[in-house]
Amino acid sequence: MTMTETMRPTAAAIPLRVRTLRKLNPLILRLLHSRAHGLASRDLLILHLTGRRTGRAYALPLSYVGQDGALYLCSRPETSSWWRNIGDGTNVRIAWRGRNIAAHARVLAADSTEALAGLSAFLTRNPGTGRLLYHVASGPDRRPNADDLAREVARSIVVRIDPTA
């Protein structure tokens, strides 16, 4: 079985802070779609995607980091499953900084240098998330600990988003 078939999040595996934040998703979605999006769009975007099996439409507020013209989203398979709808590549829409943009998304191979760089950039921008979900310590310069990062990239999902418009 592949990781996508075996790793389904359970409520017990999801930290309480994450479960609490998820209850705020409807409010965050409204904020990011409003004129006041600037309050949160520096750190959050809305990923619009379609379920591969169900055809159901999803709109998810997610943290991101931009690097070299691409956006990177990171997740843990034990805490979420949205990334399973992306796989090797799919067309998505993102609501990003007040604009709706067509984009292409793909899950990066965990052993790729790009996945390591994407997770590093993400955790540099979000050190609290690094400690809470990824068990990655950061130094005084906010950079993730290299040994922690190398261990955790294999356990993480890194998605690259390339805006197409």
Between strands 99-107 and 90-96, the pairing is: antiparallel
- CATH architecture for segment(s) 3-163: Roll (2.30)
The structural domains of the chain, with segments of one domain joined by +, span 3-163
Question: Mind listing the pLDDT tens digit of every residue in the chain (165 residues)?
Answer: 334 444 455 555 666 666 666 677 778 888 887 887 777 778 899 999 999 889 999 999 999 999 988 999 999 888 888 999 997 789 999 999 889 999 999 999 999 999 999 999 999 998 888 877 788 988 888 889 999 999 999 999 999 999 986
Q: Please identify which residue in the block is written with the tokens 């209850």.
A: 23
Chain-centroid distance, C-alpha 30: 19
* Gap between the Cα atoms of 43 and 108, Å rounded: 21
Query: What does the DSSP assignment read for 85-144?
Result: GTTT-EEEEEEETTEEEEEEEEEPPTTSHHHHHHHHHHHHH-HHHHHHTS---B-TTSPB
